[in-house]
Structure 1
């Protein structure tokens, strides 16, 4: 036998943590954006909305 004594409960919990971390990383890569990216997109949308409103014709 090559290894020492292994605590099965700790090994099971470590494996579960690793699986959750891998799934979280996968979801972040698929769906996630950084806070800076969200802020930039929101600023761009606000700027575009403002620019559109500035070019509207009045309802007179």
Structure 2
């Protein structure tokens, strides 16, 4: 037989853990260093310039 469990505490702990998992996922998805952001912006600009250079003029 297990000990007594406070259901409100268990529910809140479960919700807190879910929020923490979501926050960790968002941190991995959105938080980047300044160098990473600049590198990504430079890469996107370079790709846009290459794509623009390949367009046909009509």
Q: What's 2:18 paired with? A: 19
Structure 1, unpaired ranges of 5+: 45-60
Cα RMSD for the two superposed structures: 2.0
Which has the greater radius of gyration?
Answer: 1
Secondary structure of 2:4's partner?
coil
- Ranges of 4+ aligned residues in structure 1 off by more than 2 Å: none
Distance in 2, Cα, partners of 1:41 & 1:26: 18
- CA drift at 1:41: 6.5
Q: What's 1:9 paired with? A: 8
TM-score, normalising length from structure 1?
0.53
TM-score, normalising length from structure 2?
0.55
**Alignment coverage as a number of residue pairs:** 38
Structure 2, unpaired ranges of 5+: 39-58
